[in-house]
Amino acid sequence: MKKAIVLISVMAAALLTGCNKQTAKSNLSSQSSSSSKIVRHETKSSSEAPRINIHKKYKGFKLATVPSQYRGTWYRGDPYSKRARKLVITEHTVNGDVTYQKVDPNLKLNRHSEKQNKKYSGNIVLIDTQGNSLKVRGFLDLASLDYQPGQFKNHDCLFLSYGTDPSVINGAIFMDKNVALKYRKYDFTKVKKNGSLSNPVDEE
């Protein structure tokens, strides 16, 4: 009888040990599986990030250099949000778009051309820095965004114009995020191109 009890105890212990090993192995396997899933997911998302290639060539265009007074990290306030939007301008990019200039005057751009729409797709823009402004537009766009350096209430900024009338200031971007948020609801159409207020009453 004692031998039978001892034998049953040994067998039970062996079964429990086997179950524990199997459970541990199963847990390890599921952890490994979930880890590999996470790694694959992270790799996929990082590979989907747009890559900036300033060496890519387009016939009739050349890589353009953004003048130093426009470069930096800028912020623009949104009247409907308490978060400022960031704009990063570097030597050869505007917000991640590589900057080019058209050098072939005979090259005709046609926004209705399927071939050109395919050819000039991606993170690329045309810039023009004649005068005291930086004009930025897509290769096949008709309108430009116009950035002009200036000062607003003693803060360095870039005044922003867009639309059919480039003389109208539609907004301003600042290097100080807090300043951008402070004036997020300000009506910048009151400001003239030289940075002075068209309205003599200086509103806060």
pLDDT, one tens digit per residue, over 161-172 is 997 777 899 999
Nearest to 186 by CA among 161, 167, 204, 174: 204
Q: Dump pLDDT digits (tens) for 67-123.
A: 999 999 999 999 999 999 999 999 999 999 999 999 999 999 999 999 999 999 989
Q: Residue 50 — pLDDT band, cuts 50, 70, 90? A: low
Contacts of 56 (CB under 8 A, 6+ apart): 98, 124
Bridge-based pairing of strands 72-76 and 124-128 is unpaired
Judge whether 96 and 52 are in contact, CB under 8 Å. yes
- pTM (predicted TM-score): 0.70
> Of how many residues is the chain composed?
204
Over the range 14-24, which residues count as b (16 or more CB within 10 Å of their CB) and which as e?
Answer: eeeeeeeeeee
Beta-strand (E) ranges in the chain? 61-63, 72-76, 85-89, 93-94, 97-102, 124-128, 134-137, 145-152, 155-161, 171-174
Contacts of 138 (CB under 8 A, 6+ apart): 120, 124, 125, 126
Q: Dump pLDDT digits (tens) for 153-203.
A: 999 999 999 977 778 999 999 999 999 999 999 999 999 866 555 543 344
Q: Residue 131 — pLDDT band, cuts 50, 70, 90? A: confident
